Amino acid sequence: MRQADSTGPAARPTNPVIEAIMNRASVRRFEDREVPEEVLETIVAAGRQAPFTGQMYSVIVIRDRARREELAGLFGPMAVKAPLFMLICVDFNKLEKFVAAKGRRNQANDLAMLFLGLQDAAYFGQNLVLAADSLGLGSCFLGGAAFHGARLSEMCGLPPRVYPLVGLVLGYPAGRRPGPRPRVPLDLVMFHERYRDLSEADVERALGVMDAGLIREGYYRDLNGKIPLQEGDDRLTYDDYGWGEHVSRKYGQRPMGRFLSSLLADLKKQGIEW
């Protein structure tokens, strides 16, 4: 069971829903067992109950092994480690058909639409994975979908005004479920009345919490997930390589210009531009 933040009250209210949320963790090892269609429909229906007006999302479910192997070329081997791959998409196409059915045309700027569509699809996805956990399933989000927009649109037959947001693998966990992973302390993400910028001491405390938990678990070791150092000798072993170094290398030594150019081009191909 997840422990309360050291900065929080001694006892917070809890219930089975809170416990399920606090103890959820991504699963990366799955049994070779199919997910029954009625279970799949139940968790997608739960995702559908997330709060939004436009409902600008769709999800493509892929069971076929050969198609999942093709997806592994974009997402890596995780795409075939679970019996189901799901592609959650931002979907303006359906909303615009609903608007047109009442004799009107969508007048919103696509940038504004994208912000709203991202919210809709994200709410749906989080509801879905929590529902899946409650039925004994495990899941793992695969975040690179948006940077493979053209290829995924072709592979999944996405029409104009639909764009892939995130991949998701789903199945029954093999072996022991992983425990919850550390998070930045609550007082460094929740501010009252006004934003409070982090001090150097706050940053060090947060990095200490994150690094200690993931190094102790062997998280990056198990994933073989160390990002290569682009300059200098990499003297860090997995005994020292934690979350702080990981996110620093991920975002601090990879120029995003070419990814952004590709993303904007792929959005344009799907009829989304501003």
Average pLDDT per block of 10 residues along the chain, 274 residues long = 50 90 94 97 97 95 97 96 97 98 97 97 97 96 95 98 98 92 96 98 97 94 93 94 96 81 94 94
Looking at residue 255, its pLDDT comes to: 75
Give the per-residue pLDDT at 4.
46
Residue 172: CB atoms within 10 A of its CB come to 18
Q: What is the pLDDT of residue 5?
A: 57
Residue ranges with strand state E in 32-110: 57-62, 84-91
pLDDT at 9: 54
Give the dihedral of Cα atoms 162, 167, 171, 174; nearest 10 deg. Answer: 180
The structural domains of the chain, ordered by start, are 16-177 (3.40.109.10), 186-252 (no CATH)
